[in-house]
A and B are shown apart, each in its own frame.
Chain A
Amino acid sequence: MNWLSRFNGPQTLGEGGVFWSLFVVTVIVLATVPLYAEFFIVNNLAYFLLWTFMALGLSLIWGHAGILSFGQTAFFGLAGYGYGVISINLGDAHGLTWVAFVGALILPTLLAAVVGYFMFYGGVRDVFVGIVTLSITLVMETFMAQTAGPEWAIGTARLNGFNGMSGMPPLTIPWFGDDSIMLDGNPFYWFVLALVVVVYLALRWLVNSRFGNVLVAIRENPDRAEMLGYNVRLYQLAVFTIGGTLAGISGVLYTTWGSYITPSAMGLTAAALPIVWTAAGGRKDITTTLVATVFLLWVSQTLAVKGAQYALVLMGVLLLVVVLLAPDGLVLLVVRGIGRVFRRGQPAGSNNGAL
C-alpha cells in the first residue's frame, strides 16, 4: 500500500483503511447512480460535482496557502466564455471541442498568472488580495454585461451582454467512422465524476508533497518560510495559478452542462458562494471542502425550489455561523462530534496536527 501513502499526510484528514474503503464505496455508488436513478438526479449530481473544482482550488490557495481570493469566479467566467467563443467558432466535429476545452483552461490560467504576478510581486497581501480579486471579477461582470450589441462578437460567437451566451456544443469524443460520442447526459456525468476523482487525488498528493509543506508554511508564517530559503512569492504565484485553472475547469463544465453562461456567473453573489462552501466545509482540508460543497449545493437547490432567495440567506447565515463557531468547518465539527461519541471514556485522540 506504499503508493497509497503518497495521498496521505499531515495536510489531509483520513488516511486509514476505513477512510479509503469509504472513498472507493462512495465512488462506486456515485458511478452507478445513472444505472438506477432517473435522469433528473444524475443531471443534478453532475451540476453539484462540476462546482467542486472551484471550491477545491479555493481550499488549495486559501485553506492551504493562506491567500483569500474573492474572485475565483473571474477565472470561472473567463473559462466559460472562452469555451463558448472557441467552440462556437470551431464547431463540434473531429473532437474540436477538446481544443475549446483546453483553450478555455489556458485563458484563466494565464489570467491568474498575470494577476498573481502583479499582486505577489507587487507586495499585495492579506485582505487586499481579496479586494483586488473581487474587483477583477466585478469588472469582468460589468464589462460582459454591456456586450449586448452585434458589434460584440468574436468570429461567429455573439457575447450577448446580460442575456449571456448560449448554443455552445457539448464536449464530443470522435468515434469510428463519422460517429462521435456527445458528453451530455450520463456520459457527461461520468466524465465530471472521473475528473473530480482525478483532481481530488492529485490535490491530496500535491498538498502532502514538499510543495504542499511549503504552502502551509507560507500560510502560517510567510517570513519564516522565506527565512528557510523558500521563494515565497513564487510559491504564491504558482498556487494561485493552479487555483485559477481549477476555477476554469468548473467554468467550462458549467458552460457545457447548460450550454449557457451569463455575466452574473462573475457577479458578487456568485463570487461569494465558493467562499461559503469552502469555509463551511473546512477550508484546510480537501475532503471536507469537497463534501461540503456538494452538500451545500444540494441544500441550495432544494431550497431554491421554494424561492431562490432562501438559499442565499441560508448561505450567508452559514458563513457567519462557521466563522464564529466552527472555524475548522462544519464537516470536521460533525466528524469530531461522532468521534467523541464513539471514543467516550478514552483519552482525547491524537487528532491531526494540521487542523
Chain B
Amino acid sequence: MSALLETRDLSKFFGGLYATNGVSLAIEAGEVRCLIGPNGAGKSTLFKLIIGTYQPSGGQVFFDGHDITPLESHRRVNQGLSIKFQVPGIFLELGVEQNLRIALQRKVAPARMNDETERLLAFLDLAPSRHLAAGNLSHGQQQWLEIGMAIALQPKLLLLDEPTAGMSPEETFKTGELVKRLNADGMTIVVIEHDMTFVRQIARKVTVLHFGKVFLEGTLDQVVNNDDVARIYLGKE
C-alpha cells in the first residue's frame, strides 16, 4: 500500500538558508509519527510546506496518491489535511462554542450542528467555558480548542505542531490520550514534539530532523539510544 502522505525531496530556502533540504518522508495511513529535532531543524517549515503555507523551492508533496504541491492551503484541507499551528491559531474574540461551530460547519449539516457541537465540547472538556471568548482560555485550553477545530474537519491526516507546549504534565498526558483515541478511530497523525514522555506515550515511529534533512528514522528506543542523536541535541562531541 502506498503512503497517505509522501514528500519527495522537499526543499525550502529563505535567501541562502535551507530551512528544509531535500526531505523525503512517507507516512502510512493509520500511523502516529513524531517529528523531533533541535530548534531550527526545519520541522515547522516542513509542516508549512505540507499544508501549503509555503511553496517549496524544490520537491513535491503527495497526499492520498495525488500531487498536491500546486494546491492552495484551503484545497489541501478540503482533501483531508488539517493542522494545529505551533502558536494557537484560534478566533480570540469569538466564543469557544462559535470557534468550534465555524470549523464544524464544514462537515456537519445544520440539523446536526447542535449535537455535534455538544459532543466536541465534551470531548475537549470545554463545555463549561463555551460562552467565554476564546482569548480568555488558558494556554492549554487554547491548544485543545485548536485541536478541536482541526479534528472537526474529520481529516484523514492531522498535523500537530507542538500540541503540548505550555501544558502541565496532566494536560500533556490528557492530550496524549486524546491523540491515541483519534488514532484508534482511524486518523493518521503527525506530531512535532519535544516532550519525550509524550512522544513515548503516543508514537511508535519517530523521525529525527536535523539541518533541514531527515537524520534518522526508527522506533523511539532506537532514536534515543543513538549516539548521533544525543550529539546533535546536546552538542556532544
* A353 with B131, Cβ < 8 A, contacts A228-B77, A228-B149, A229-B77 known: yes
Least CB distance from B205 to A in Å reads 25
Least CB distance from A172 to B in Å reads 43
Residues of B within 8 A of A225 (CB): 102
Least CB separation from A218: chain B residue = B91
Residues of B within 8 A of A227 (CB): 51, 73-74, 77, 82-83, 85, 89, 150
Contact B74 A221 (CB under 8 A): no
Contact A224 B91 (CB under 8 A): yes
Judge whether B34 is part of the interface by a CB distance below 8 angstroms.
Answer: no
Judge whether B194 is part of the interface by a CB distance below 8 angstroms.
Answer: no
Q: State which of B53, B74, B89, B92 has its C-beta within 8 Å of the C-beta of A229.
A: B74
Contact A228 B131 (CB under 8 A): no
Judge whether A223 is part of the interface by a CB distance below 8 angstroms.
Answer: yes
Contact A220 B106 (CB under 8 A): no
Contact A353 B95 (CB under 8 A): yes
Contact A224 B74 (CB under 8 A): no
Is chain A's binding surface mostly helix, strand, loop or mixed?
helix
Residues of A within 8 A of B146 (CB): 224
* A229 with B153, Cβ < 8 A, contacts A221-B89, A353-B133 known: yes
Least CB distance from A121 to B in Å reads 11
Q: State which of B74, B85, B95, B133 has its C-beta within 8 Å of the C-beta of A231.
A: B74
Q: Scan B80-100; emit 1 where CB is below 8 A from any A CB, else 0.
A: 001101000111111100100
Contact B132 A210 (CB under 8 A): no
Least CB separation from B52: chain A residue = A226
* A221 with B77, Cβ < 8 A, contacts A228-B153, A353-B98, A354-B98 known: no
Least CB separation from A284: chain B residue = B93
Residues of B within 8 A of A231 (CB): 72, 74
Q: Scan A320-355; emit 1 where CB is below 8 A from any B CB, else 0.
A: 000000000000000000000000000000100110
Least CB distance from B5 to A in Å reads 16
Contact A223 B89 (CB under 8 A): yes
Least CB separation from B146: chain A residue = A224
Interface residues on B, range: 20 to 34
Judge whether B103 is part of the interface by a CB distance below 8 angstroms.
Answer: yes
Contact A10 B95 (CB under 8 A): yes
Residues of A within 8 A of B83 (CB): 227
Contact A220 B92 (CB under 8 A): yes
Contact A217 B93 (CB under 8 A): no
* A216 with B89, Cβ < 8 A, contacts A226-B73, A228-B153 known: no
Contact A230 B131 (CB under 8 A): no
Q: Scan B3-19; emit 1 where CB is below 8 A from any A CB, else 0.
A: 00000000000000000
**Using a CB-CB cutoff of 8 Å, which residues 46-64 of chain B contact chain A?**
51, 53
Q: State which of B74, B103, B132 has its C-beta within 8 Å of the C-beta of A353.
A: B132
Least CB distance from A241 to B in Å reads 19
**Using a CB-CB cutoff of 8 Å, which residues 198-234 of chain A contact chain B?**
210, 213-214, 216-217, 220-221, 223-232
Q: Scan A50-85; emit 1 where CB is below 8 A from any B CB, else 0.
A: 000000000000000000000000000000000000
Contact B93 A354 (CB under 8 A): yes
Given contacts A227-B85, A228-B74, A353-B133, 12 further A-B contacts (CB under 8 A): A216-B91, A216-B102, A217-B91, A220-B94, A221-B92, A224-B85, A224-B90, A227-B82, A227-B150, A229-B74, A230-B74, A353-B98
Binding site for B on A (CB under 8 A): 10, 210, 213-214, 216-217, 220-221, 223-232, 350, 353-354
6 contacts between A and B (CB under 8 A): A214-B102, A224-B149, A227-B73, A229-B74, A353-B131, A353-B132
The 9 closest A-B pairs by CB, nearest first: A353-B95, A220-B91, A229-B77, A224-B89, A229-B78, A217-B102, A213-B102, A226-B73, A229-B74
